[in-house]
DNA sequence: GAGTGGTCTAGACCACGCA
DNA sequence: GCGTGGTCTAGACCACTCT
């Protein structure tokens, strides 16, 4: 009656709750339930999958811990939405220095967008083939009305068809990816370095050429583990910092 | 028979498993079980605290998620140890750039240690009072035999009596804090900035004065939420990077 | 074989949101 | 009042470790 049953015909050796977890991730990735929509209740899923409610609960608790879903007592469980506030703070770690430590909401400055074939580095970063096209976005972000971050964003055109025909791109691109293109960013991997401002940086940020900048090299990864975006940000850290908490 | 009983005489309104969690954290912080030692079994704790095994399990799962304890099937649950490898990788995020991405094990270079009254900044960072003494450690860490990181470490002398009488400090200070002084680092808060190498940095790291360095400003926090250490590292990021994964 | 944590189930009551 | 997720319990079997 219990333990190590497989949901599919051929048993694998994952615990049941992990199998349930995997099934649910796939369904979310597949768009069975759109962002903001409610998943079936624990009971309904348990019945459908032939496991107990407690097992479904454990799988859904894991989804909630990954913030793939949001659970609300009395209402239900909902596919996480990359709304403005949410998405901004999940992957955006720029804040004011301690002891204030407040999160910062950057505003959008100038932006340029163009389409071209992927360079070799871009092919590697985004798992593309030779000849694949990408879209390059360059933009500035402001903190307290003055430019603080320059970004170069590279997107595979195949995943975001005609994204370069948008007049104005929103501040939080991830909600656009999710809402319009059905691509949810599940996680990011970032590498941080210190670099010197080149002439273009200096002009965009209003700093002296040769000023120190924090460079954030980020690859965004989708629900299906595809590399969805490559973004290189250069940040003037005189008034804001990149904050990390490890527990 | 179930639900919302309080362990202590005066009920608070925390779920039982959170109360159990809190009790266990306090006992660990208090040294009831030393690092590496086994906690009582789930059954034993459940009996002692008058709750069910499942509730104790949920509390201990949370402790494991915080990596405050390590659980081993068939053996028991053990207070986490800040061993060399462990402690190094828990809070040390320097690695090689992608696609390699391998963790790096820094070696220890020159070190200097001295005792003096806390400056104003140090008082603020470490929650000290005027006149309190601190110990300042300055040292260099090597990657691939060449200097890559300079560190300035500030410790409250009250927490680490006579630490400055040590001949050689180990590479991973956190295991020393835990093993000798009974202070476990439960988490850290870091702020990252880009700065330019001053003359001292340049000499220590073998780079040109004015080179860009990644500055990591870290406050380490103990089990009882006290600020235990303030550490400012400056890192040459030409060959290594600071890696962050968010999921 | 005894003891531990890991998984799974079944059923209960509670707190919440909504109609 | 109903359905949802949140908490708690009790009991079962499994996988692992040690003796």
Structure confidence by residue, pLDDT tens digits, A5-61: 434 333 457 899 999 999 999 999 999 999 999 999 999 999 999 999 999 999 999
Q: Which nucleotide is nearest to A15 (CA to C1')?
A: C7
- What is the pLDDT confidence band of residue B12, given thresholds at 50, 70 and 90? low
User: Which of A123-137, B91-105, B142-156, B191-205 is predicted least confidently?
Assistant: B91-105
- Cis amide bond preceding B148, omega within 30: no
User: What letter would DSSP give residue B79?
Assistant: E
- Cα B15 from Cα A57, distance rounded (Å): 17
Pairing label, strands B227-235, B146-156: antiparallel
Q: Is the CB of B184 under 7 A from strand D?
A: no
Residue A208, classified by CB atoms within 10 Å of its CB into exposed (0-12), middle (13-18) or buried (19+), is exposed
pLDDT (0 to 100) of residue B98: 83
Chain C footprint bases within 7 A of protein beta carbons: 3-18
Of all nucleotides in the shown strands, which has a C1' nearest the CA of B41?
Answer: C4
How far is the C-alpha of A187 from the C-alpha of B27, rounded, in Å?
35
A72 touches strand D (CB under 7 A): yes
Protein-proximal positions, strand D, CB < 7 A: 3-18
Residue B27 CA to nucleotide C2 C1', Å?
28
Q: What is the dihedral of CA A32, A35, A36, A41, to 10 degrees?
A: 30
Residue nearest to nucleotide D6 (CA to C1'): A73
- What is the per-residue pLDDT across B225-237, written as a single tens digit (0 to 9) for each? 999 999 999 999 9
Using CB atoms, pick whichever of B192, B235, B246 lies closest to residue A241: B192
The model's pTM: 0.90
B71 closest-nt by C1' vs CA: C5
Section B195-204 average pLDDT: 97
Q: Please report how many Cα atoms fall inside a 13 Å half-sphere around the Cα of residue B152, on the Cβ side.
A: 9
Label residue B71 by pLDDT band (50, 70, 90): very high
Strand C interface, protein residues by Cβ within 7 Å: A 1-5, 15-18, 51-55, 58, 72-75; B 2-4, 39, 41-44, 54, 57, 61, 71-77
pLDDT in tens, A57-112: 999 999 999 999 999 999 999 999 987 677 778 899 999 998 888 889 899 999 99
Cα–Cα distance for residue pair B39/B21, rounded to 1 Å: 13
| CA B219 to the chain's CA centroid | 9
Q: Which residue is nearest to nucleotide C17 (CA to C1')?
A: A74
Residue nearest C9 (alpha carbon to C1'): A52
pLDDT in tens, B33-46: 999 999 999 999 99
Residue B241 has pLDDT above 90, yes or no: yes
Report pLDDT for A39.
Answer: 96
Nearest CA in chain B to A221: B247
Q: List the one residue out of A137, A110, A126, A121 whose CA is nearest residue A159.
A: A126
Residue B207 C-alpha, separation from nearest chain A C-alpha, in angstroms: 13
**Protein residue at shortest CA distance from C1' of D16:** B74
Which residues from chain A sit within 8 angstroms of residue B196, using beta carbons?
Answer: 212
- Cα gap A136→A204, rounded to integer Å: 17
On whether the CB atoms of residues B114 and B134 are closer than 8 A, the answer is: no
Evaluate if the CB of B77 falls below 7 Å from strand D: no
Nearest CA in chain A to B187: A247
User: A55: distance to nearest CA of chain B, Å?
Assistant: 14
Cα separation, B85 vs B94, in Å, equals: 14
Domains, chain A, ranges and CATH?
2-79 (1.10.10.10), 84-242 (3.40.1410.10)
Strand partners, B151: B139, B233
Q: Check CB contact under 8 Å for B246 and A90.
A: yes
- Helices marked H in chain B: 16-29, 42-49, 53-65, 84-91, 120-126, 173-181, 199-205
> What pLDDT is attached to residue A12?
53
Percentage of residues of chain A with pLDDT beyond 70? 95
């Amino acid at each position: 009656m219990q333990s190590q049953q497989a949901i599919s015909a051929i048993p694998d050796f994952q615990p049941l709750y992990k199998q349930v977890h995997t099934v649910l991730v796939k369904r979310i990735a597949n768009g069975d339930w759109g962002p903001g929509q409610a998943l079936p209740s624990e009971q309904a899923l348990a019945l459908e999958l032939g496991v107990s409610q407690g097992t479904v609960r454990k799988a859904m608790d894991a989804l909630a811990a990954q913030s793939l879903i949001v659970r609300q007592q009395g209402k239900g469980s909902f596919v996480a939405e990359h709304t403005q506030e949410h998405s901004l703070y999940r992957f955006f770690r720029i804040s004011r220095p301690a002891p204030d430590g407040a999160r910062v909401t950057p505003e959008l400055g100038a932006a340029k967008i163009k389409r071209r074939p992927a360079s070799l580095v871009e092919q590697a970063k985004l798992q593309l083939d030779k000849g694949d096209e990408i879209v390059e976005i360059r933009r500035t972000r402001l903190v307290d009305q003055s430019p603080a971050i320059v970004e170069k964003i590279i997107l595979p055109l195949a995943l975001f068809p005609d994204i370069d025909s948008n007049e104005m791109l929103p501040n939080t691109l991830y909600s656009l990816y999710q809402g319009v293109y059905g691509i949810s960013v599940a996680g990011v991997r970032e590498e941080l370095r210190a670099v010197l401002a080149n002439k273009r940086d200096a002009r965009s940020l209003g700093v002296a050429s040769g000023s120190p900048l924090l460079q954030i090299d980020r690859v965004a990864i989708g629900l299906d583990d595809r590399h969805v975006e490559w973004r290189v940000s250069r940040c003037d850290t005189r008034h804001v910092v990149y904050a990390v908490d490890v527990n």
